[in-house]
A and B are shown apart, each in its own frame.
Chain A
Amino acid sequence: MSVSRDDFSIAFRSALLQRGGAQKFSVLSLIFLALIIFFLDVYGAKFTKPVRSFLNDVVYRLTFLASTPSRFLPQVSTDISNFFNVKEENERLKAEIEKYKLLELNVEFLTDENKNLQKILETEYFNKNLSNIILAKVLVDKNSPFLKSIIINKGTRAGILKGMPVTKDNYLVGRIVETNYLSSRVLLLNDLNSRIPVTLDEGAQAILSGSGTNNPILEYLPEDYEIIEEINVFASGKDGIFSSGTPIGVTNSEGQVDLFVDPNQLSFVTVNLNIQSKGKF
Chain B
Amino acid sequence: MAKRSLINKIFNAGPVILLYYLCISEVDSNLEKIFEIFTLNFQIILIYFWVLKRPDIMANGHIFLAGLINDVVMGFPLGISSLSYLIIIFVGTYVRNKSVNTTIASDWFTFFMAMIFSNILFFSLLNNFSDLYFTYSKIGYNMFFTLFMFPIFWLLFNIYQITFIGGRDA
Task: List residues of A whose CB falls within 8 A of some B CB.
Answer: 7, 10-12, 14-16, 18, 21-27, 30-31, 33-38, 40-42, 52, 55-56, 59-60, 62-63, 66-67, 70-71, 140-147, 149, 178, 185, 192-193, 212-214, 264, 280-281
Contacts and interface: CB of A to CB of B under 8 A. Distances in A.
A38 B125 contact: yes
B125 A67 contact: no
B68 A25 contact: no
B125 to A, nearest CB: 7
A68 to B, nearest CB: 9
A45 to B, nearest CB: 12
A281 B67 CA distance: 24
Contacts of A55: 72, 78
B28 interface: yes
Given A34-B67, A144-B75, A281-B131, 12 more contacts: A12-B94, A15-B94, A24-B59, A33-B79, A41-B78, A59-B72, A141-B26, A142-B26, A143-B30, A144-B74, A193-B132, A193-B133
Contact of A66 (B25, B59, B77): B25
B56 A149 contact: no
Contacts of A41: 77-79
B32 A145 contact: yes
Q: Decide if the interface of chain B is mainly helix, strand, loop or mixed.
A: helix
Contacts of B64: 25, 30, 33-34
Contacts of A15: 90-91, 93-94, 97
B55 interface: yes
B79 A38 contact: yes
Contacts of B93: 14-15, 18, 27
B165 to A, nearest CB: 13
A25 B78 contact: no
B73 interface: yes
Interface of B: 21, 24-28, 30, 32-33, 36, 39, 55-61, 64, 67-69, 72-80, 82-83, 86, 89-91, 93-94, 97-98, 125, 129-135, 138, 141-142
B32 A192 contact: no
Contacts of A178: 75
* Interface pairs A-B: 4 shortest CB-CB: A38-B79, A67-B26, A145-B39, A37-B79
Contact of B30 (A24, A70, A145): A145
Nearest to B145: A145
A67 B21 CA distance: 9
Contacts of B33: 143, 264
Nearest to A143: B28
